Amino acid sequence: MKAVTAEVMQQLDRRTIEEYGVPGLELMERAGANAAAIIQERFGAVADPSALILAGKGNNGGDGLVIARILASQGWRAEVILFAAPAALAGDARVNYDRLPPAVTITSADSAIMDRLTDCCGGFTVLVDALCGTGLTSGLAGPFAGAAVSMNAAGRPVVAVDIPSGVDASTGKVPGAAVKAALTITFGAAKLGHLLYPGAAYAGALVVTDIGIPAALLAAAPGVTYLDEDHAASLLQTRSRTAHKGSNGHALIVAGSTGKSGAAAMAANSAMRSGAGLVTLAVPKGLHAILELKTTEAMTVPLADCPAGSIGADALEEILSLASGKNVMAVGPGIGTAAETASVVRSIVAAAALPLVIDADGLNALAADPAGLAASEAPFIILTPHPGEMARLAGVTTAEVESDRLATARTFSAAHTVYLVLKGARTVIAAPDGRIAINGSGNPGMASGGSGDVLTGIITALVAQGYEPFAACCLGVFIHGLAADLAAAEKGEIGLIATDIQEMLPYAFKRLMLIGVR
């Protein structure tokens, strides 16, 4: 699914009107009719259904007026509170105001109404937020802010038309009061503000409806890919019936240090659970015996270590030798921050001639001089930072990373010619050619130690199997979240641990495979 900014959506609307001859009034009618149909389907199965539509003066308010008219024609008690003088309405919104039948009660949002708005909202089956729409970039003020507070406090389900009022449709930022919707019905394409936090927390369930924006315009419009099950299933490769372990790829994983053998084990075992034919796990020699026990299916190789119990400088030649004949090398899970180990990581990045996946302390080793990434001999490099690691790589604060995750990922990816997986709620995947994706799977139960090591193993396995790097990142991130969702459905989010995610990986792949053959 494609997601766009508010500006791009406005351009799509304009071009549909100007180049394809679809009147704006018709687009508004389709939007309102689609929304009314969804409201009827979701909330209409009660005795005497009722809707209170809070409408502004722009096109979003016009959509709300269409909804009111159609619901009234279907037997609903539909009432409108208008947050503008009727004389201030113009264009298509004014036309739809004039089309309202006598059955629709219209009230102005004067001080008397605002004083009792919360109680008023509580008397309806559903509330419809048609106040501001996607054009708003500043916070709600005055009666609009009061309306948001009242709707949120009323205890009734709220349906947002296009975007919850108060949420920036292009960034997901919420600079002040905002409507918290149970359902958002949007038109033509999802908006970034529906998907990016904190705005995503206000959108509730999201339904994208078709109002007739030409497919060619949508396909050509700049935007990002939202990773849902259907899109992830389309990325999944079908295995040949004659596949064997050699044809499914051989991954080398360089990982572990004293106290962090679990990170190495989870990365290796997750790679096996994600379809890699062979996995070789290279670890400091002090960990070799324990990892022989923790990784039954993976092969293990002891490496020279340093006094810190992590990989030592003398291991570099062995690692580069092990890389020969492998399809991918992952570096970083649990390797620690010893200076000697960090030097080995930088040397691997400079000299390795196979695809690299770098995570955790492997990323911290590169933070002092990320410029070396672009000079690497590797065909491509995938980085998987969390926001703190991303901040160190980019030389900014974590708050700056979180303030614009899309821009951070896009800029760093292009500047250093790497594929970047910026982890977190709604993980962002960026390719150096400008492609961007936002992940839709996962849950808060993933916020525990080891989850990132599992993701490293998944992506590494997909690269080993020959997936194009951006596809490997997108599919890997989605599968990671889907496995966590399956685990949470069985066990709950609280107490979920990384190995729970790991054990659900085959089931996540199976689910996508079944979608692919529907």
pLDDT greater than 70 at residue 402: yes
pLDDT in tens, 289-298: 999 999 999 9
Q: What is the pLDDT, as a whole number, of residue 517?
A: 62
DSSP secondary structure string for all residues of 195-242:
HSTTTHHHH-EEEEE-----HHHHHHS--EEEE-HHHHHHHPPPPPTT
Q: What is the pLDDT, as a whole number, of residue 395?
A: 96
Q: Which carries the bigger pLDDT value, residue 135 or residue 347?
A: 347
Confidence of residue 153 (pLDDT cuts 50, 70, 90): very high
Residues 6+ apart with CB under 8 A from 262: 294, 334, 450, 453
pLDDT in tens, 195-246: 999 999 999 999 999 999 999 999 999 999 999 999 999 999 988 899 999 9
Confidence of residue 357 (pLDDT cuts 50, 70, 90): very high
pLDDT in tens, 163-189: 999 999 999 999 999 999 999 999 999
Residues 6+ apart with CB under 8 A from 403: none
Contact 463, 327 (CB under 8 A): yes
Q: What is the mean pLDDT of the chain?
A: 97
pLDDT in tens, 278-287: 999 999 999 9
Domains defined for the chain, CATH in brackets? 2-222 (3.40.50.10260), 232-516 (3.40.1190.20)
pLDDT in tens, 450-502: 999 999 999 999 999 999 999 999 999 999 999 999 999 999 999 999 999 99
439-470: b (≥16 Cβ within 10 Å) or e: bbbbbebbeeebbbbbbbbbbbbbbbbebebb
Arithmetic mean of pLDDT, 65-89? 97
The two beta strands, 428-430 and 419-422, are antiparallel
Q: What is the pLDDT, as a whole number, of residue 315?
A: 98
Give me the helices (H) in 245-356, please. 261-273, 288-294, 316-323, 339-351
Among 26-30, 90-94, 134-138, 184-188, name the one with the lowest average pLDDT: 134-138
Give percent of the chain with pLDDT exceeding 70: 100
Say which residue the tokens 């190789």 belong to: 301
Highest mean pLDDT among 367-376, 433-442, 507-516: 433-442
Q: What is the pLDDT, as a whole number, of residue 516?
A: 72
Among 109-118, 295-304, 305-314, name the one with the lowest average pLDDT: 109-118
Q: Which two tokens stand for residue 188?
A: 């033509």
pLDDT in tens, 2-15: 999 999 999 999 99
Contact 131, 58 (CB under 8 A): no
Q: What is the pLDDT, as a whole number, of residue 137?
A: 84
Q: 45 burial class (0-12, 13-18, 19+ CB within 10 angstroms)?
A: exposed
Contact 323, 252 (CB under 8 A): yes
pLDDT in tens, 415-458: 999 999 999 999 999 999 999 999 999 999 999 999 999 999 99
Q: Which two tokens stand for residue 362?
A: 């492997």
Q: What is the pLDDT, as a whole number, of residue 425?
A: 94
Arithmetic mean of pLDDT, 287-314? 97
The CA distances from residue 231 to 54, 152, 194, 236, in Å, are 35, 33, 18, 9
Q: What is the pLDDT, as a whole number, of residue 518?
A: 59
